[in-house]
Amino acid sequence: MRLAIYVLAAVVGVAQLARADESVTVETPIAPQGDTVARYVVGELVLRRFEPRYIEATVVGVKANGEFARSASGDFIRVTHRWTDPQATTMLDQLNTANLTNNSLARRVLVRLQSDGIIPAGTIGGTPGVPPAPLTPVPGP
């Protein structure tokens, strides 16, 4: 039941992004062909508890001015990573029993993406919770 609530909160929370949302401010801004990514925010989180188990996280690049970063072709800049078994089972167990009061779900996702080398090193900051309406349209699939 708790996991369902957390998943629902994560889905609702990632549907809207804003400056106060928790994010990783990268130590060295990334300058692909297109906008420069100053930070990443969790855009989507999928927790699959049944076979095949996996956790899939998508983070979206944000420019220094708070707008979503775009590639030269106009697509939103995003990074998606999927953890599969046995990592997925371990992570699902940890999330299911986690106290998210001091270490939010978004922060845990960002820390794990950094520690696995998926996104660059940087400082995680911001306010946990559902952010207010976004400054720019939310990136879709």
**Distances from the Cα of 121 to the Cα of 7, 24, 86, 94, 97, angstroms:** 26, 8, 25, 23, 27
pLDDT band at 136 (very low <50, low <70, confident <90, very high): low
43: in domain: yes
130: in domain: no
Q: What angle do CA 17, 63, 47 make, to 5 degrees?
A: 40
56: in domain: yes
pLDDT > 50? residue 6? no
- Give me the domain span that covers residue 87: 2-125
| Token code pair at residue 141 | 């699939």
The pLDDT score that the predictor gives to residue 32 is 54
Residue with the larger pLDDT of the pair 9 and 48:
48
Residues 36-47 have pLDDT tens digits of 899 999 999 999
Residues 66-117 have pLDDT tens digits of 889 998 888 999 999 999 999 999 999 999 999 988 889 999 999 999 999 9
**130 Cβ neighbours under 8 A, 6+ residues apart:** 9, 12, 13, 16
Going by DSSP bridges, is the β-strand pair 122-125/78-84 parallel, antiparallel, or unpaired? unpaired
Q: What angle do CA 98, 100, 101 make, to 5 degrees?
A: 135
The pLDDT score that the predictor gives to residue 128 is 83
pLDDT > 50? residue 52? yes
The pLDDT score that the predictor gives to residue 28 is 79
CA Rg value for the chain: 15
How high is the mean pLDDT of the chain? 81
135: in domain: no
141: in domain: no
* Sheet-wide strand order for 37-48: 78-84, 54-62, 37-48, 23-30, 122-125
Q: Structurally, how many domains does the chain consist of?
A: 1
110: in domain: yes
The pLDDT score that the predictor gives to residue 133 is 56
36: in domain: yes
137: in domain: no
